[in-house]
Structure 1
Amino acid sequence: MGEQIGHAGANVMATTGILVGNLHTNEEFGQADALFGRVWGFEPDSRPITAGLMRALTHAGNYVSGAFDGDRMVGASVAFFGQDSTLHSQNTGVEAGHPGVGFELKRHQRLWALERGISRITWTYDPLVRRNAHFNLAKLGARPAEYLPDFYGALADAVNHGDESDRVLATWPLTDPQVEAAVRRAPHLPEVPEDAVLGLAADGDRPVVGRTDGRVVLVAVPEDIARLRAEDAGAAKAWRHAVRDVLGGLMAEGATVTGFHRRTCYVVERN
């Protein structure tokens, strides 16, 4: 770990001893590059973010951080400045077996942005991944702003290979009370009225399209899309298109996603 880690803006996770701080040296960027490779399993020459690019981004004033367990990097995050006082978080990766590191990386990123007058952070995530939806919407208090079909095109990594790269653009208003509560570890739990309708449900590993004419619509996602990609590509594709049609369709009509309910489904409210 480089000597610059742990300077201004760093957080220490007292329960695990993980240290989070900004990266500065080529050695650190190389560790982050290797970590992203371990997390996503990129094919040779297919890495979207390299050590050299991280070096250039930080030199231009952008954000690159790492989370260290002793001398070993176990998480990293890369973000760059966007329009209208926005920081866009492009990659955040955490090694398996290190719960809580992703949350601390986002908290560090938020403080770094606030120190520079940034009021909002955005990022994209796969709407089919339950744990990511729960993390982003419940644990962080972020809000889905846009559904982006096949946003990145074909991706050459072990996680996404063979699937279309639909993404949801999440927005994180850093001083919003919902976000401030979330970073104090009070998760955002949406209210679900009794008259909510099931727009998309699960029948085993297959999606079942229901009603979308209610004021509040619940949109389920599969229990484990990574397993489906590996074991039943047809079911994975069916979920991709069903969520695109139902969730993406509702958002395109102006409906608001108010949260993620019981780690299983989006709560969508018609305006």
Structure 2
Amino acid sequence: MVDVSLRRLKTKDELEEMQRLEEMVWGTAAIPFHQLHTVNHNGGLIIGAFVDEELVGFSYGFPGFSNGRVYLCSHMLAIHPRYRDQKIGERLKREQRQQAAELGYDLVTWTYDPLQTRNAYLNLHKLRGIGAVQLPHHYGEMDDALNEGLPSDRFLVEWWIDSPHVSHRGASMTVPPVTADRSLLRAETKLSGFPVAHPGREFESDEGVWFVPVPEAFQALKKHDLPLARDWRMKTRDVFGQLLENGYVAADVVRGQEAGVCHYVFVPRRQLKI
């Protein structure tokens, strides 16, 4: 692992370096400097990751407000391609948690594609966030490589940074083994090596844990078979919505016995210590 230092980005030079990294990573116009500067002076939190004083990653968040509560909306996390798979994103999020708490926040939110299992594993398993809301086609049509050709569904993550669920790993839930009788979809692996989704157990609100399988390598599946990727999107959208509407949240991601498949773990929200 590389030696990384973390600090808030405040100066004009630092924020302009962030803009250059943002444009390189995302391929779009960067957030204007005046916006970044204003966010920094109004409750926002911009943190950079440096290797030998080169900015290699950043997180960008600003204050949000909903239902009488102020929270940190963590809008963007970017890592230079040369420095990915070095746990820099995880370190940025943990630093964000600490500094957000110092600013007086108890909740951080962000969105991610629920079929991107690497993000799901970081957000739910490592950081102990919860997938609390489904946002179907949240950004409309998108033409970048990750999203082109599919509805831009997202999970809204709630990260209750001072809660026992986050602070004391495993204290608030125990995950039983993945079984077919608790899975709302059934994954069958094709000869291509990619899974196909079939109906599983019918949902009933019985306070128990429910599992939802998703492809482990969704981008590879999408590149190989776009109609199959769309099928996964729509079938998971249906079962995610059913669970969330009945008071469940996505609380973890685990592997089962099937190759190429991960499983979301859904539990009643009231059972978690958040």
TM-score (norm 2): 0.82
1:175 aligns with 162
Structure 1 residues 39 and 229: alpha-carbon distance in aligned structure 2, compared to 1, 3 A threshold: farther
Is it true that 1:161 corresponds to 2:148 in the alignment? yes
2:116 corresponds to 1:129: yes
Distance 1:194 1:260, change over 3 A: closer
For 2:199, give the aligned amino acid: V
Give the counterpart of 1:208 among 198, 207, 218: 198
- For 1:38, the equivalent position in structure 2 comes to 24
Distance in 2 between residues matched to 1:94 and 1:232, nearest whole Å: 28
> Which residue is equivalent to 2:106?
119
> Match of 2:11?
25
Secondary structure class of the residue paired with 1:67: strand
RMSD, matched Cα: 2.5
Query: 1:221 is paired with a residue of what secondary structure?
Result: strand
Separation (CA, whole Å) in 2 of partners of 1:29 and 1:261: 37
Separation in 2 of the partners of 1:102 and 1:188?
A: 25
Q: For 1:56-93, what per-residue CA distance to the aligned partner results, in whole angstroms no more than 9, with x for missing partners?
A: 32233311111011132211111111121311101111
Q: How does 1:92-107 map to 2 (within 5 A)?
A: 92-96=77-81, 97-98=83-84, 99-107=86-94
Name 1:7's counterpart in structure 2: none
Q: Cα distance, 1:270 vs. partner?
A: 5.2
State the TM-score, normalized to the length of structure 1: 0.82
Match among 140, 152, 161 for residue 139 of structure 2: 152
- Give deviations 1:157-186, integer Å, cap 9, x for gaps: 23222221111111111111221235xxx8
The change in CA–CA distance for 1:270 and 1:58 in structure 2 (over 3 A counts) is closer
- Range 77-86 or range 124-133, more displaced: 77-86
Deviates more, 1:137-146 or 1:222-231: 222-231
- Measured in 1, the distance between the counterparts of 2:90 and 2:171 equals 12
Aligned to 2:175, which of 191, 200, 211? 191
Q: Which region of structure 1 is more displaced relative to structure 2, 121-130 or 94-103?
A: 94-103
Aligned counterpart for 2:75 among listed residues 90, 96, 99: 90
Does structure 1 conserve the Cα–Cα contact (< 8 Å) formed by 2:49 and 2:55? yes
Please tell me the residue identity of whatever aligns with 2:246.
E
- Does the aligned pair in 2 maintain the 1:139–1:188 contact within 8 Å? no
Q: What SS class does the counterpart of residue 141 from structure 1 fall into?
A: coil
Residue of structure 2 equivalent to 1:266: 264
Partner-residue secondary structure (3-state), 1:213: coil
1:270/1:237 Cα in 2 relative to 1: closer, same or farther (>3 Å)?
A: same
Q: Distance in 2 between matches of 1:151 and 1:223?
A: 22
Report the identity percentage.
33
1:194 Cα deviation (Å)? 7.0
1:212/1:78 CA distance change after superposition, 3 Å: farther
> What is residue 233 of structure 2 aligned with on the other side?
240
CA contact (8 A) 2:129 2:251 kept: no
AA of the residue aligned to 2:21: L
Structure 1: where are the runs of 5+ without partners?
1-14
Q: Secondary structure at the match of 1:242?
A: helix
